[in-house]
C-alpha cells in the first residue's frame, strides 16, 4: 500500500489547532504528539530546517549516527526492543539512499519504522537537481506505505497515519519524503484526533468455527507440533502462546525471528528449526501429523524444500497478513486473525473443554518419547578445547554470566547462528537480529538503539569481525552520546559463513573470504584495540580461554561502551546444517 499524498481526510473528532509555524516545526510537533522520544538523524542540505527545529524540542532526543545506515539500524534496534516505532532521518540523495538497506530489513522482519527523508524543493523534482533521488519510487517494494508531502497542511495527517500504519496489523516501515520548500513554508497546523484509512483493516478476529475445528484436530492428533515465528512477538502474544501450549500439551519450535516468544528453558521447547536449527525441532515439525503454524511465513530457510515440508501432516496457519496464507505453503486450515486474539480465544475454548493448564505433560507420551530420543541423540554440542576459544563456548559462558537476561543483538553470519543456538532466551524482544534480509552490519547499531530504549538492561552485540567492521563508525556515536552498548567480536579473520560454504561445497577454495593481512598472516588485522583507542573506547583482546571469564566480567561491569575482541578458529562450522533446497533428512550434523 503506497501512494502519494492525496486529498486530506476529514477528522471525525474536533481537531487541535496549533499556532502558526513552519513545516519543519509542524513535523517535529507531530512527532512529539506521537510520543517520539528519540530520533536517529544525520543532517544535510535538504533536511536542515528539520534539524534546526529538533534543536528546539524539549521532548525528543536527537542522536547523530556516523552513517545513515547505522541510524536506521539503531532505529530498528529501538523498535524491536520496545515494540514502538523507531524513527530515523536522512537528507536527500545519498543520505536517503543510505537508509534503504535498513528500510528493506524492517520490511522483511516486520519492524515498525518511520523513516523521514529530506527532498529537493518541489519545483526541482524531476529535473535532476543536486542530490535529488526519487525515494518514493525507490522504496515502493519495501515499505507498508510511502508519502511524498506536496502540501504543508497534510503534515499532521500524514504523520499520524504513518505511525498508525507502521505499528498496527503486521508492523513495517513507512517513508515520509518532505521537500525542502515545504519545510520552510508557514501555516497554522490542524492536528487530527482520529484518522480513517479506507481499506486498511487491522482487527481481524478468528472465527469460532475455525478455532473449534483446530481444537478438534488437536483432539485427534498423535504427533502435534507448534511452529511459531515473529508474529508471536510483534503481536504481543507470548503469554497466550505459553498458556495454549501448556493447556494443549503440544511441543513448540520457533523460527529465528520467533526466538524468545516461547521460553527456551521450558520442557515443551525444542528451541528453533530451520537451516541451522536443532535436529529435534526439524524432525518433530516435519514428522508431525498436525502442525500449528502461528505468526510465520514458511520462509525457505525454515522449510528447506517447501513442497516436502511437513509433507504428510495437516497444517493450520494463523496469521494477521492475508497475503501470507497459502502463499508459500498451501495448508488445510488457514485462519486470518490477530494471533493474540486467536490464542486467547482458543485458550477459553480449551478451558471450557476440560483442557487444564499444567506443568505435567502426558497427553502424547509416545510423541514425547520420540522427541526426547532425538534430543539425546542430536544435542546442540561442540568440541571444547583446553586453550583455544571455541565460539560456542563464548556464547554459553555469556549466557551463564548474564543469567540469560541480556538483550542480545547480532550481525549476520556464523556468530548469529551460534548466538541463537547457545544462548537460552526466555523473554521476547531479547534477540534482535536481521533474519529475513540478512544484513551484515546490523548488530552494533541495533545494540545502540536497544540500549537507548532500555538503558537499565545489559545490551550486547555478538558479532563477527566482517559484520562488525561494516558499521564500526557507530563506536563514535555510542562514546560521544554515552550509550553503554557492549560488543563481543568472534574474530576468526574470515567471512566465516562463506568459508563454511566454501569448505562444504567448493573444495575449500577461498573466493575472497580472508579479511586479514595476506602480507603478514600472523598479524591480527584490523587491530581493534588500536582502532578503539582512536574512538576513545575500551577494547580488550582475548586469545586464551583462561582469560575469557574475567574479560567478560569487566565488560559487563563497565558503564561505558566496551568491546571484546575474542580470537576464535576459522575452521569451526555451524552445525547442524540443512543445505539450501534440501530437506530435514539431508541435515549435516558433523
- Greatest pairwise CA separation for the chain in angstroms: 72
CA distance 499 to 553: 31
- pLDDT of res. 9: 44
- pLDDT of res. 14: 52
Q: How far is CA 352 from the centre of its chain?
A: 36
- pLDDT of res. 415: 98
As assigned by CATH, the class of the 391-567 domain is alpha beta
CA distance 253 to 270: 5
What angle (nearest 5°) sits at the alpha carbon of residue 563, between those of residues 481 and 81?
Answer: 60
Mean pLDDT, rounded, for 477-491? 98
Residue extents of the structural domains in the chain: 16-191, 208-377, 391-567
The answer to whether residues 548 and 389 touch, using CB atoms and an 8 Å cutoff, is yes
User: Could you read off the pLDDT of 53-79 as tens digits, one per residue?
Assistant: 999 999 999 999 999 999 999 999 999
Q: Is the pLDDT of residue 6 over 80?
A: no
Q: Is the pLDDT of residue 2 over 60?
A: no
User: Exposed, middle or buried: residue 163 (CB in 10 Å: 0-12, 13-18, 19+)?
Assistant: buried
CA distance 590 to 588: 6
Place of cell 537528507: 91
Q: Are strands 252-254 and 333-336 parallel, antiparallel or unpaired?
A: unpaired
User: Could you read off the pLDDT of 243-300 as tens digits, one per residue?
Assistant: 999 999 999 999 999 999 999 999 999 999 999 999 999 999 999 999 999 999 999 9
Mean pLDDT, rounded, for 99-114? 98
User: Could you read off the pLDDT of 496-545 as tens digits, one per residue?
Assistant: 999 999 999 999 999 999 999 999 999 999 999 999 999 999 999 999 99
The answer to whether residues 339 and 347 touch, using CB atoms and an 8 Å cutoff, is no
User: Could you read off the pLDDT of 309-331 as tens digits, one per residue?
Assistant: 999 999 999 999 999 999 999 99
The answer to whether residues 228 and 319 touch, using CB atoms and an 8 Å cutoff, is no
- pLDDT of res. 259: 98
Mean pLDDT, rounded, for 23-41? 98
Q: CB pairs under 8 A, 24+ apart, for 389-392?
A: 389/542, 389/543, 389/544, 389/545, 389/548, 389/566, 389/567, 389/568, 390/568, 390/569, 390/572, 391/415, 391/418, 391/490, 391/492, 391/566, 391/568, 391/572, 392/418, 392/421, 392/422, 392/572
CA distance 382 to 362: 32
| Peptide bond between residue 576 and the one before it cis (omega within 30 degrees of 0) | yes
Mean pLDDT, rounded, for 394-422? 98
Q: Which CATH number fits the domain 208-377, given the four candidates 3.20.20.150, 3.40.50.150, 3.30.700.30, 3.40.50.1220?
A: 3.40.50.1220
**Protein fold of 16-191:** Rossmann fold (3.40.50)
User: Could you read off the pLDDT of 204-248 as tens digits, one per residue?
Assistant: 999 999 999 999 999 999 999 999 999 999 999 999 999 999 999
DSSP structure string for 194-259: ----TT--------HHHHHHHHHHHHH-SSEEEEE-HHHHHTT-HHHHHHHHHHHT--EEE-STTT
Which DSSP state fits 582? -
The answer to whether residues 342 and 214 touch, using CB atoms and an 8 Å cutoff, is no
C-alpha dihedral (113, 119, 125, 128), degrees to nearest 10 = -110
User: Exposed, middle or buried: residue 359 (CB in 10 Å: 0-12, 13-18, 19+)?
Assistant: exposed
End-to-end CA distance of the chain: 46
Task: Please choose, from the candidates 434, 381, 367, the residue with its C-alpha nearest in 3D space to the C-alpha of residue 80.
Answer: 434
- pLDDT of res. 15: 62
User: Could you read off the pLDDT of 187-208 as tens digits, one per residue?
Assistant: 999 999 999 899 999 989 999 9
Percentage of residues of the chain with pLDDT beyond 90: 95
- pLDDT of res. 18: 72
The answer to whether residues 74 and 452 touch, using CB atoms and an 8 Å cutoff, is yes
Please indicate whether the domains covering 16-191 and 391-567 agree at the CATH topology level. Answer: yes
Cβ neighbours for 127, distance < 8 A, ≥ 6 positions apart: none
Cβ neighbours for 571, distance < 8 A, ≥ 6 positions apart: none
User: Could you read off the pLDDT of 366-396 as tens digits, one per residue?
Assistant: 999 999 999 999 999 999 999 999 999 999 9
State the catalytic residues.
68, 130-131, 180, 497
Amino acid at each position: 500500500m503506497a501512494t502519494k499524498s492525496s486529498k486530506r481526510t476529514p477528522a471525525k473528532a474536533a481537531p487541535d489547532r496549533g499556532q502558526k509555524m513552519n513545516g519543519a516545526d509542524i513535523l517535529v510537533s507531530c512527532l512529539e504528539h506521537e510520543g517520539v522520544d528519540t530520533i536517529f538523524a544525520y543532517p544535510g542540505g535538504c533536511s536542515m530546517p528539520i534539524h534546526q527545529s529538533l534543536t528546539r524540542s524539549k521532548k525528543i532526543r536527537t542522536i547523530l549516527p556516523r552513517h545513515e545506515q547505522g541510524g536506521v539500524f539503531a532505529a530498528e534496534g529501538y523498535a524491536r526492543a520496545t515494540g514502538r516505532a523507531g524513527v530515523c532521518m536522512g537528507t536527500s540523495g545519498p543520505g536517503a539512499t543510505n537508509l534503504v538497506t535498513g528500510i528493506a530489513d524492517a520490511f522483511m522482519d516486520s519492524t515498525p519504522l518511520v523513516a523521514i527523508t529530506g527532498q529537493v524543493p518541489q519545483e526541482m523534482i524531476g529535473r535532476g537537481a543536486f542530490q535529488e533521488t526519487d525515494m518514493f519510487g525507490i522504496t515502493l517494494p519495501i515499505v507498508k506505505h510511502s508519502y511524498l508531502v506536496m502540501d504543508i497542511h497534510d503534515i499532521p495527517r500524514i504523520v499520524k497515519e504513518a505511525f498508525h500504519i507502521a505499528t498496527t496489523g503486521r508492523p513495517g516501515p513507512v517513508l515520509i519524503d518532505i521537500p525542502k520548500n515545504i519545510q520552510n513554508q508557514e501555516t497554522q497546523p490542524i492536528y487530527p484526533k482520529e484518522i480513517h484509512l479506507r481499506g486498511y483493516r487491522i482487527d481481524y478476529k478468528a472465527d469460532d468455527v475455525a478455532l473449534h475445528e483446530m481444537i478438534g484436530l488437536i483432539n485427534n492428533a498423535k504427533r502435534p507440533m507448534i511452529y511459531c515465528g515473529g508474529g508471536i512477538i510483534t503481536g504481543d502474544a507470548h503469554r497466550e502462546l505459553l498458556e495454549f501450549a501448556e493447556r494443549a500439551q503440544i511441543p513448540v519450535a520457533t523460527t529465528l525471528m520467533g526466538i524468545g516468544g516461547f521460553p527456551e528453558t521450558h520442557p515443551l521447547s525444542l528451541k528453533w528449526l530451520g537451516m541451522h536449527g536443532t535436529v529435534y525441532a526439524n524432525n518433530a515439525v516435519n514428522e508431525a501429523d498436525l502442525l500449528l503454524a502461528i505468526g510465520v511465513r514458511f520462509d525457505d530457510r525454515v522449510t528447506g524444500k517447501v513442497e516436502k515440508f511437513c509433507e504428510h501432516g495437516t497444517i493450520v496457519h494463523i496469521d494477521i497478513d492475508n497475503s501470507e496464507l497459502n502463499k508459500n505453503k498451501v495448508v488445510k486450515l488457514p485462519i486470518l486473525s490477530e494471533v493474540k486474539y486467536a490464542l486467547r480465544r482458543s485458550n477459553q475454548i480449551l478451558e471450557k473443554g476440560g483442557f487444564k493448564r499444567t506443568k505435567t505433560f502426558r497427553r502424547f507420551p509416545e510423541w514425547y518419547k520420540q522427541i526426547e530420543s532425538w534430543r539425546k541423540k542430536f544435542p546442540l554440542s561442540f568440541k571444547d578445547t583446553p586453550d583455544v576459544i571455541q565460539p560456542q563456548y563464548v556464547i554459553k559462558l555469556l549466557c551463564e554470566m548474564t543469567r540469560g537476561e541480556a538483550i542480545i543483538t547480532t550481525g549476520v553470519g556464523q556468530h548469529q547462528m551460534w548466538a541463537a543456538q547457545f544462548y537460552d532466551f526466555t523473554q521476547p524482544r531479547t534477540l534482535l537480529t536481521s533474519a529475513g534480509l540478512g544484513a551484515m552490519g546490523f548488530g552494533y547499531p541495533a545494540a545502540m538503539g536497544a540500549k537507548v530504549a532500555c538503558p537499565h538492561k545489559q545490551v550486547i552485540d555478538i558479532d563477527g569481525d566482517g559484520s562488525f567492521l561494516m558499521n564500526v563508525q557507530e563506536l563514535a556515536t555510542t562514546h560521544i552520546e554515552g550509550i553503554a552498548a557492549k560488543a563481543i567480536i568472534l574474530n576468526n579473520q574470515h567471512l566465516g559463513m562463506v568459508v563454511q560454504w566454501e569448505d562444504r561445497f567448493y573444495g575449500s577454495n577461498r573466493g575472497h573470504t580472508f579479511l586479514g593481512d595476506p602480507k603478514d598472516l600472523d598479524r591480527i588485522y584490523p587491530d581493534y584495540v588500536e582502532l578503539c583507542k582512536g574512538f576513545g573506547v575500551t577494547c580488550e583482546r582475548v586469545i586464551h580461554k583462561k582469560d575469557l571469564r574475567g574479560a567478560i566480567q569487566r565488560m559487563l561491569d563497565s558503564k561505558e561502551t566496551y568491546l571484546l575482541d575474542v580470537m576464535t578458529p576459522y575452521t569451526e562450522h555451524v552445525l547442524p546444517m540443512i543445505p539450501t533446497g534440501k530437506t530435514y533428512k539431508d541435515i549435516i550434523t558433523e
